[in-house]
Amino acid sequence: MAFAIHEASVDDAEDLARIYVACHIDDDVWKILTANVKHQDHVEWVANNSRAQYHLPERKVYKVIDTATGKIVAYATLTSPYPSSEEERATSASTAGKSLPPGINEGLMKEFFGMLSSTKAYGYDPDKHFHRKGTMVLPEYQRKGLGTMLNAHCNDLADKAKAATYVAARPNSLPMLQKSGFKILADEKIDMTKYGGSREDGKAWALIREPQ
């Protein structure tokens, strides 16, 4: 198999959303968060959130294409340093939470996305730093190095800009990120027992990678 990285467009939003949903079927937080959400409602919600953010100049999504089929099989989102006003940031944040799908666990959603925003408490400044927003690979294409491929691409962009990158990492991506130079700043945790989960669930880590 051969693969290539391209910048995604708003027209790719639904394909990317289907990858996102497929990657979260067994996620310890997400499966509880969306347990009562219909599959298509789930996909449409993720896709609409993605479409609503394509106007942001600092946000880029990089997709991996299976060159034999043209299929999008993986992607990663990277935000670049971008000076913006508090009003612009507030508008961007408010857009992402609109039109929640029926059945979603709103309490858990608030905690989960709060946890993923924890990097600000450890030095992340959107005016100065890059920020990773997730690396997703279709389950049937995992263990082919695509996550590492995307990680290297994003790291290269940050290195050329001589700027640090922050990320709030979940368990599956932590080893890959650490291998490429990310260092743990702190750990975060949701008490998933409140939502019927295990005490071992709901973990994330705030990490930083200095330019190399």
pTM of the model: 0.92
Whole-number Å distance between alpha carbons of 35 and 37: 6
User: In the structure, how many helices (H) and strands (E) does the chain have?
Assistant: 7, 7
Write the pLDDT tens digit of every residue in 98-156.
689 999 999 999 999 999 999 999 999 999 999 999 899 999 999 999 999 999 999 99
In the chain, the percentage of residues whose pLDDT exceeds 70 is 93
The residue whose two tokens read 């953010």 is: 53
Return phi, psi of residue 34, to 5°.
-115, 20
Q: Which domains does the chain have, with CATH numbers?
A: 3-96+103-209 (3.40.630.30)
Q: What is the structure's pLDDT at 99? A: 82
Amino acid at 7: E
Sorted by sequence, the CB contacts under 8 Å of residue 85 that are 6+ apart come out as none
List, for residues 92-105, the tens digit of each pLDDT value.
555 555 689 999 99
Q: How far apart are CA 203 and CA 201, in angstroms?
A: 6
Which positions ≥6 away from 126 have C-beta within 8 Å? 58, 79, 81, 82, 84, 89
CA distance 199 to 201: 6
pLDDT tens for residues 160-169?
Answer: 999 999 999 9
Instruction: Determine the distance from the C-alpha atom of residue 122 to the mean position of all C-alpha atoms in its chain, rounded to a whole number.
Output: 18
DSSP of 56-119 = -TTEEEEEEEETTTTEEEEEEEEE------HHHHHHHHHHHT-SPPTT--HHHHHHHHHHHTGG
